[in-house]
Amino acid sequence: MSIARHHAEWLSLVPVSGPFLRLPVLMEAFNSGFEPPDLEQECFERNKDAMRARAKEIPDEIEQETEAIRARLADTRVRMFPVAVTFLVPENMTGG
């Protein structure tokens, strides 16, 4: 596809108003055409930025969780629960 045709196709997608969105102006400003965006690279950069932001949050979360655990375990009390255990043993194993 020629550059002029590419520009014309692009112009058909947007409402044209004013002298700045005309084919001659686009041809002068972008005489070599538009570079298509590298979507894979953009996605990679977004993911990398998100991972860096997440990595910065982790130390604070570790500290918060550690404090929560310490607070929960700070007041330990000994509690006694009565338990009854019954063993059911088959007669042929009792020897009697």
pLDDT digits (tens, 9 = 90+) for 45-56: 999 999 999 999
Query: The pTM is what?
Result: 0.39
Tell me the one-letter amino acid at 94: T
Q: How far is residue 89's CA from residue 95's CA, in Å, rounded to a whole number?
A: 11
What is the C-alpha to C-alpha distance for residues 86 and 5, in angstroms, rounded to an integer?
89
The pair of structure tokens assigned to 8 is 């014309």
pLDDT tens figures, 37-80: 678 888 889 999 999 999 999 999 999 999 999 998 888 888 88
Is residue 56 within 8 A of residue 50, CB to CB? The reply is no
Q: Could you give the residue ranges of the DSSP H alpha helices within 1-96?
A: 3-11, 23-29, 39-73, 91-94
